[in-house]
Amino acid sequence: MTQHLADRTQPTSDAPTPNPGAHAATPGVPTPPEWWRHAVIYQVYPRSFADANGDGMGDLAGIRARLPYLAGLGVDAVWLSPFYASPQADAGYDVADYRAIDPMFGDLHDADALIRDAHDLGLRIIVDLVPNHSSDQHEWFQRALRDGPGSPLRDRYHFRAGKGEYGEAPPNDWESIFGGPAWTRVADPDGTPGQWYLHLFAPEQPDFNWENPAVRDEFRSVLRFWLDMGVDGFRIDVAHGLVKAPGLPDMGHAGQLRLLGTQKLPFFDQDGVHEIYRSWREILDEYPDQRIGVAEAWTPTEDRTALYVRREELNQAFNFHYLNTPWDAAELRRVIDSSLDSMRPVGAPTTWVLSNHDVVRHRTRLGGGVERARAASLLMLALPGSAYVYQGEELGLPEVTDLPDEARQDPAFFRRGAGGDGQDGQDGLRDGCRVPMPWSRDGASFGFGGVGGWLPQPGDWGALSVEAQTDDPGSTLELYRRALAERRARSALGAGDGVEWLEAADGVLAFRRVGADGRAVLVAANTTDRAAPLPGACASARGQVLASGPYRQGEPLPADTTVWWEE
């Protein structure tokens, strides 16, 4: 079976068997010390990246064909959102088989070829792991339904009797992130109304019971499966959700989603999750070349986030506090300081992220068009730590805000108002950042593949395509390419764990960073809508490295502009 792994050109219909040791050393990828500390990690949303077979849905072969583009862009690693076998109730975050690829994306041979090609190009691969919940079509859940109350399979999920005389009310008052109650009632095998099960997201996503040892064993095995396939790490979905407060206590009030990321909740960020990540870190460390775990952890404070990246736990956690910060110099400075201060004691790198598949694209969210988005990106890419780039942000793509209702697929969209007040879940508008990528100026789907994608692209996206922007020195794509090349060449950008703030006018953020090679970089970002005086240190800088918009040295800093200088 391992022969398949060696012979990519002749896949057979058998699935490749993961082969421990097959990827012991990643060809083409030298292993610098702790590569992940300053890595730029590019998020691919497989449904929307590239469609090789023309069925309107992106696939692994499409991603594989575009790997040279990603290598040329200059990123270090690629994080793939879920591609596992899934009924797609939540775009693949509802996994029916953690060891299989959904046929719409390809098969394990495609995954193997993708991982190998990425490594040959010097790119690392991080896959999404979804351990908080499975799909309701997962074999375990289906068996749990069949086996009935009290069965060992039911104990792998959270099944409870309902409240009320006939068990007609949910076991507690928790709300689903997607709206409505976090519980759904099932019928007993004989057809009578039976127990309820917990789902913090859609009803098609039942939460696992992480107190059950079989669940823990299964995920340790799944980790090894993908590590043996050669992946370099995992982005851990809802990493803060696995353990629930003992007894599943009531919240006592509605509107729980509004507290997410600001207050302690009985279903999120419980201390018990850390034991799980300690056991996972042991597995990651058994493999060569620094395999990593990245927590998607929504916690009330940056200090609570830091707990996920203590030395024996995961390597990175997304910095949602930064993502949620408006384009305002004082607020940015505060969150940059507090992010760095929280991570320093645990020795983990800070991460920076502006866009992903769950939030409004930052070109639109920050409210200042492409100029502001470019300035925000150049600021982010100068900060010490690891940066995340979401597919299409390098093209300056805006959020698509006018998708017709009939095109939408976000499960939260269909549960709007499920709890009565219409305000209790996510807005359900996440499809607007998931529209397929434009690769070429023309064609029915601008080179995405086939005659159209699973979500309609705006008619003018050809002008934003990779083809249209390549070699245009003023384009956002060429700005990202230059920024990532400079970041690779200068250790003052990305590496390290601190910034030296410089005096600057109100609304301007300015700092100095010194690289391991002793060369210093100065950075200034004007977050206002007017030109601002240049910070003194920048006025006397040796040379301009890069500017997010038109800028002539010595002139005031234009509105919504970030500039990098060599000191």
Q: Provide the residue type at 327 as one letter.
A: W
Which of 130/537 has CB closer to ligand BGC?
Answer: 130
* DSSP at 468: H
Tell me what percent of the chain is helix, strand and coil, each rounded to the nearest 5.
30, 15, 55
Identify which of residues 112 and 237 has a Cβ nearer to ligand BGC in the complex.
Answer: 237
460 sits in the region (left: phi over 0; alpha: psi -120 to 50; else beta) called alpha
Which residues, 6 or more positions from 164, have their beta carbon under 8 angstroms from its beta carbon? none
Shortest spacing between CB 90 and ligand BGC, in angstroms = 5
Closest listed residue to residue 98, CA positions, set 201, 236, 3 = 236
130 versus 340: smaller Cβ distance to ligand BGC? 130
Phi, then psi, of 279 in degrees rounded to 5: -70, -30
Burial code (b: 16+ CB inside 10 Å, e: under 16) for 255-271 equals ebbeebbeeebbbbbbe
Which residues 354-393 are close enough to bind ligand BGC by CB under 6 A?
Answer: 357-358
Nearest residue (CB) to ligand BGC, 238 versus 437? 238
327 contacts ligand BGC (rule: CB under 6 A): no
Which residue out of 90, 117, 136, 237 is catalytically annotated? 237
Smallest distance, ligand BGC to C-beta of residue 546, A: 31
Q: How many residues bind ligand BGC (CB under 6 A)?
A: 9
- 4, 14 Cβ separation under 8 angstroms: yes
Q: How far is the CB of 509 from ligand BGC (least distance, A)?
A: 29
Question: How many Å apart are CA 380 and CA 387, to the nearest integer?
Answer: 7
Per CB under 6 A, 90 contacts ligand BGC: yes
Residue nearest ligand BGC (C-beta atom): 93
Catalytic residue among 14, 147, 285, 286: 286
**Residue 59 found at the interface with ligand BGC (CB under 6 A):** no
* Of residues 136 and 296, the one with the C-beta less far from ligand BGC: 296
**Min CB(298)–ligand BGC separation in Å:** 8
Shortest separation between residue 148's beta carbon and ligand BGC, angstroms: 27
Residue closer to ligand BGC by CB (options 237, 431) is 237
Spatial neighbors of 109 by CB under 8 A, at least 6 apart, are 4, 8, 11, 15, 16
Site string for ligand BGC, 182-221 (x = CB under 6 A): -------------------x--------------------
The reply to whether 555 belongs to the active site is no
Active site residue 286: yes
The answer to whether residue 238 forms part of the interface with ligand BGC (CB under 6 A) is yes
User: Considering only residues 258-317, where is the footprint of ligand BGC by CB under 6 A?
Assistant: 296
- Encoded one letter per residue, x for contact with ligand BGC by CB under 6 A and - for no contact, window 119-158 reads -----------x----------------------------
Q: How far apart are CA 375 and CA 371, in angstroms?
A: 6
Q: How far is the CB of 522 from ligand BGC (least distance, A)?
A: 36
- Taking the CB of residue 390, how many other CB atoms lie within 10 A of it? 22
Query: From the list 59, 110, 207, 237, which residue makes contact with ligand BGC (rule: CB under 6 A)?
Result: 237
Q: Who's near 406: CB < 8 A, 6+ residues apart?
A: none
Least Cα distance to 492 among 469, 465, 512, 478 occurs for: 512
CB of 317 to ligand BGC, least distance (A): 13
Instruction: Tell me: does residue 93 bind ligand BGC (CB under 6 A).
Output: yes
Q: Which is nearer to ligand BGC, 268 or 446 (CB)?
A: 268
3-state SS assignment for residue 567: coil
Contacts of 235 (CB under 8 A, 6+ apart): 79, 126, 127, 128, 129, 294, 296
Q: Which residues of the shown chain bind ligand BGC in the complex (CB under 6 A)? A: 90, 93, 130, 201, 237-238, 296, 357-358
- Positions marked active-site: 237, 286
